[in-house]
Chains A and B, each alone.
Chain A
Amino acid sequence: MNLSMNWLKDFVDIDVPPKEFADRMTMSGSKVEKYEIEGEKINRIVVGKVLSIEKHPNADKLVVCMVDVGDSKAIQIVTGAKNLCVNDLVPVALDGSTLNDGTKIKKNKFRGVLSCGMMCSLRELGLSTSDFPYAVENGIFVLQEEGCKIGQDICSAIGFNDVKFEFEITPNRGDCLSIIGLAREVSATFNKELKLHKPVVKALAKMDKDELKVNVFEKDLCPFYSARIVKNVKVGTSPRFIREKLRAMGVGSINNIVDITNYVMLEYGQPMHAFDLRYIEGSQINIRKANKNECITTLDGKEHKLNENNLVVANAKRPIALAGVMGGEFSSIKKDTTTIVLESAIFNPIAVRRASKEQALRTDSSVRFEKGIDKNNCIPALNRACELIEMSGAGEVCSETFIVDNSLDEIIKIPFDPESINKFLNVNISYEEMKNILSRLDCKVVDNNVIVPSFRLDLKNKNDIAEEIARFYGYNNIPSTALRGSHYGKFTKEQKFKQKIVNAMISLGLSEISTYSFLSQKQYDKLLLPPNHFLRNSIKILNPLGEETSLMRTTAIASMLEVLSSNYNHKNENAMLFELAKEYILNNNNNDLPTEKIKLIAGFYGTNINFGCVKGFLEGFLDKLFIKEYEFVANSKIVYFHPGRCADVLCNNVLLGNIAEIHPTVLENFGLGTRAYIIDLDVKALFDHAYFNVSYSHIIKFPAVKRDLSLICDKEVPVGNLKNIVKNSAGKFLENVTVFDIYEGKQIPKGKKSVTVNISMRSTNATLTDEQINSTIKKIIDAFEKNNISLRS
């Protein structure tokens, strides 16, 4: 919401520098986003009178003018403009002057003829034809303003000397979307009297019999409707004071009637509409719901298909306005309009908001209606419009006012309890001071109740009253205190576990990333998911920003691959990354909220990265989390992973996740020109299998005994099986078993491989005897033989 300082001064005597004004309004709750002093940069541009126009001796397209700028001697100016006549009054930028955009103007020679300044166009003053409709777009701004004096500063001559403030108005303060509403805040902030004006309408015209009838069929949706007819309308340019004020408010001038409706809306906050009576067929205005498939072409030329929820203002046959949003094109004010109906009404906020949303049409009017309008403002606003029409000679107002009032006369009373307000704010403000603050806001205190004025639709409860007191007392005058009572803040076990995961990953050399939760079907295609793969069953956003961000991901692997790809394509040689990422899984019952699963996703590529290295990271990580009995089982079924290089990570037969190399086609789809690896673990499963109650076990002082067994087995047997055979057969002295020296080729039969297992044995209470060692080894060898695995001779 803009505010013109000059307009504000109609209501409050205020004369403070713009900066101070902005600061104090901001601190009392009306935030000034910025302000602009009109013509601030303009310097040494004055009103001049063209005395003569001669041809330029050396240029066909230029002329040489003598211009009176109020000095004893006229100055010579060369120009290419075509719209000049002798005796025209024009803005003249003198030697050493500055234009609105900061350009400096100096004396200059044009084809040998000296030019001592420049005559200005609207644009050079920072204006447009909507500010001065009589001026030409491309040419010198020839002034038609009354009372301009030669030599007068141009800004004062054309009223370009306002200060424009831009306010951020919060949704609860619809009343402040008006000059009067803001003036009330200014008056309360600076403790100055608010001078309201009571419109005076002469209303000399008379309505013909049956000229108009108003029927409100939707009393709830239109609790108040008022209208007035204006005859002998002369559509034309608005008077200067209207144009100036509209300009400062950022509203273009259209014609006197439209300008007046805008003027009143800005001043009173009451949206107004003017219909051409010629198009009110049947001489009746009906406030009703739209019929199915009814259409209206609004003022902006767009056609809207209406539905039965839309409230319309209609003539006997069809809608002439989408109520509270925008008027229809055909019934709008034309150049030849002679009789108009002025409307000032209240439409239901929700109905207006719904219509505005459904028809994607947001207007100054709809914004005000949806925030709530003061019923007691309708008639004064209507009268103000009539007064302005009479003042500017735009038409003759009829004496009759149509009023259909179905509103409830509700007076809002809120109990006034200064003691509890003081306690709540921790201040000590006297009853009188509180009463004084409230009275500045037109809130009266009667019998320990605050009587809320009808325009303050936001004041409903005791907290609202406390806020009004607090903001004028000053938030920053309220003391600051620490919270009382003992309260012990802590992380939950799950939160600590997640921190542990992050710390372990970081110490392994992986960096943490953060990716968007969105995906698109495209990424599922890249992952090679078949059409009805369960991961394609994503939660869809009804109103996404674009296809790329239209789904909530069911797998964070795609997000990781995008990051790996972008790093690869930025020529980063290595990447080892991880994320604690959420995946969003639909539930069978669509009314339930989806499951948000937390995953640990790690992604790798780079010169020294291979499956073994990634597996090493994973093993170190699982050990750090005290997850003990994990194992790796080959899995060739996951479509986006390399079928021969993927394992399930299991713990007590529960799947913790996977470790894998990415499928070559997937790499290609993501634009990764190198092998990449993924660890994908379910954090909940990790948490369930992690060991938390750590207790110290004695360091055994007896030595370990190590034996190597070289074995021959089928090539296809996973070495993990060999380890398991040892673990299951060795008995109590087994401490550890590792596998190394895997060999195929010469000396080994075809289809076989040689594997050496290193067995480490130890007893907790004595040095192992040869007998104990040999019997352990024998048990192991026997177990191998049962599995057709023999010792290599």
Chain B
Amino acid sequence: MKNQIEKIKNTAQKEILATKTLKDIENLRIKYLGKKGELTAILKQIGKFSDNEKPIIGQLVNEVRDFINYSIEAGIKEIKDSILEQKLNKEKIDVTLPGIYRSIGHKHPLNIVLDDVKEIFIGMGFDIVEGPEIENDYYNFEALNMPKYHPARDTQDTFYISENILLRTQTSCVQIRTMEKTQPPIRMISPGRVYRSDTIDATHSPLFNQIEGLVVDNGVTFSDLKGTLETFIQALYGLDSVVRFRPHHFPYTEPSAEVDVQCFGCHGKGCRLCKNEGWIEILGCGMVHPTVLKNCGIDSEIYSGFAFGVGLERIAMRRYNIDDMRLFYENDVRFLNQF
């Protein structure tokens, strides 16, 4: 009997090792351990043995069953491992193949820069106010101290819709509208499109974007104007930017100034970028003219303020090294995708 059991064990072991599929191995489990299996058959005959032999045979059968069980489990794992390995091998892909590209869109470069500018001014307590592009002559010129036939109107060649309606040449008209409605303190910027009758070329466009700012309050001084604009320029161009204020003239401010930044290319020595001047003009500004305040119903004996204007295209061109303004309005995707 012992021999018979040993024999079962050996044959089972051989057969298990030889199996290649999960189905074969399952058949072996049935063959040896199933209800009609060989080992089960031996257990069924256990009654024939003497009381002394019974435990010995029983133990032996149990040991062999455990052994076969273990071998089958091991076999299953081996087969599964090998199947998995085959699957993984088979599923190998060329990871250098292109992906299915999902593009995210691009913000227009002018608006990227505009967002930066807005953020800087929001941080300094400014509101953002928008207004109409098609304006009354009054808001664009007259209220800004440029009556009809004022020579300063020549510096802003204007598109007219009718005698009194025009395409705004600046966004200062929004400031007038704001001052008419609001008493100081006022801190605002008015970004937006402006129009001037300039033929299109690399540096001119009949339409461009301007950001103009206004502060009116009790006791605002020229040095507040300087401090605010220096902060803006340093936030935009870096803390090491060197700024200078140069006397100029605008009909709506007095005193007026133009602001230059030291050329980034040559640090003031003079190069092609700055046309040998060492400085690059970036904005115009000044203390709000008392007549302008008066036109808006603000008492210039109590309040003072400053205003400034800066061209968006110019900042964006500088930031991205764009040499032709037309690119902003051509909207070629090969251009847009770069931002």
- A contact set with B: CB distance below 8 Å: 26-29, 31, 34, 170-173, 349-350, 353-354, 370-371, 423-427, 458, 461-464, 466-467, 470-471, 475-476, 478-492, 495, 502, 505-518, 539-545, 549, 552, 563, 566-567, 570, 572, 574-578, 582, 584, 590, 593-594, 596
Contact = CB atoms under 8 A, between A and B. Distances in A.
Contact of A593 (B102, B108, B127, B132): B132
B125 A483 contact: yes
B247 A507 contact: no
B212 interface: no
Interface residues of B, number: 84
- Which of A467, A471, A482, A486 has the most C-beta atoms of chain B within 10 angstroms of its own C-beta? A467
A487 B105 contact: no
Contacts of B161: 539-542, 552
B244 A476 contact: yes
A511 B111 contact: no
Contacts of B155: 171
A516 B227 contact: no
Contact of A31 (B122, B165, B248): B248
Contact of B249 (A173, A479, A514, A517): A173
B334 A483 contact: no
B104 A506 contact: yes
Nearest to B221: A426
B133 interface: yes
A463 B290 contact: yes
B165 A478 contact: no
A572 B332 CA distance: 8
Interface string B110-137: 1100000010011111111000111110
B127 A489 contact: yes
Contacts of A489: 121-128, 187
Given A353-B149, A354-B149, A482-B227, A511 B251 contact: no
Interface stretch (B43-51, B78-86, B323-331): B323-331
Interface in B216-253: 217, 219-224, 226-228, 230-231, 244-249, 251
B193 A517 contact: yes
Interface stretch (B25-33, B60-68, B87-95, B254-262): B254-262
Contacts of B231: 482
Contacts, number: 240
Contacts of B207: 516-518
Q: List the 10 closest A-B pairs by CB distance, nearest first.
A: A29-B247, A487-B125, A467-B255, A170-B249, A426-B223, A480-B227, A506-B105, A513-B331, A463-B254, A471-B247
Contacts of A488: 125
Contacts of A552: 134, 161, 167
A647 to B, nearest CB: 23
- Which of B111, B195, B223, B334 has the most C-beta atoms of chain A within 10 angstroms of its own C-beta? B223
A512 B221 contact: no
B12 interface: no
- Chain B at the A interface: mostly helix, strand, loop or mixed? mixed
Given A28-B247, A172-B152, A461-B291, 11 more contacts: A171-B155, A426-B221, A488-B125, A489-B121, A505-B105, A506-B105, A511-B337, A512-B108, A514-B331, A552-B161, A567-B332
B151 A575 contact: no
A481 B221 CA distance: 9
Contact of B108 (A354, A509, A513, A518): A513
B97 interface: no
B257 to A, nearest CB: 6
B302 interface: no
A370 B151 contact: yes
Contact of A172 (B220, B226, B246, B249): B249
Contacts of B193: 517, 582
B224 A483 contact: yes
A566 B105 contact: no
B1 interface: no
A533 B331 CA distance: 29
A185 to B, nearest CB: 11
B128 A543 contact: no
Contacts of B172: none
A512 B106 contact: yes
A483 B187 contact: yes
Nearest to B289: A463
B134 A425 contact: no
- Which of B122, B136, B161, B330 has the most C-beta atoms of chain A within 10 angstroms of its own C-beta? B161
A651 B332 CA distance: 34
B151 A353 contact: yes
A502 B107 contact: yes
Nearest to A574: B333
A411 to B, nearest CB: 21
- Which of A172, A506, A508 has the most C-beta atoms of chain B within 10 angstroms of its own C-beta? A172
A480 B111 CA distance: 29
Contacts of B224: 426, 481-484
Nearest to B227: A480
B265 to A, nearest CB: 18
Contacts of B226: 475, 478-481
Nearest to A546: B199
Interface of B: 102-108, 110-111, 118, 121-128, 132-136, 149-152, 154-155, 159-162, 165, 167, 185, 187, 193, 195, 197, 199-200, 206-207, 215, 217, 219-224, 226-228, 230-231, 244-249, 251, 254-258, 275, 287, 289-291, 304, 328-334, 336-337
A492 B128 contact: yes
A572 B333 contact: yes
Contacts of A505: 105
B290 A596 contact: no
A449 B132 CA distance: 43
A578 to B, nearest CB: 8
A791 B242 CA distance: 79
Given A171-B154, A475-B245, A482-B228, A577 B331 contact: yes
A53 B128 CA distance: 80
Nearest to A507: B104
Contacts of B167: 541, 552
Nearest to B226: A480
Contact of A470 (B118, B127, B255, B333): B255
Contacts of B254: 461, 463-464, 466-467
Nearest to A353: B149
A515 B332 contact: no
A502 B105 CA distance: 10
Given A478-B226, A487-B187, A543 B160 contact: yes
Contacts of A584: 133-134
B221 to A, nearest CB: 4
B287 A463 contact: yes
A571 to B, nearest CB: 10
Given A478-B226, A543-B160, A596-B133, A514 B110 contact: yes
Contact of A541 (B149, B152, B159, B227): B159
A514 B255 contact: no
A509 B104 contact: yes
9 contacts: A173-B249, A353-B149, A466-B287, A467-B254, A479-B227, A506-B105, A511-B105, A566-B332, A577-B331
A470 to B, nearest CB: 5
A371 B125 CA distance: 39
Contacts of B107: 502, 506, 511-512
A489 B149 CA distance: 38
Contact of B330 (A427, A482, A545, A566): A566
Contacts of B122: 489-491
Contacts of B121: 489
Contact of A514 (B124, B128, B195, B328): B328
A461 B290 contact: yes
Contacts of B257: 475
A424 B221 contact: yes
A307 to B, nearest CB: 16
Contacts of B248: 29, 31, 170
A577 B161 CA distance: 31
Contacts of B244: 27, 475-476
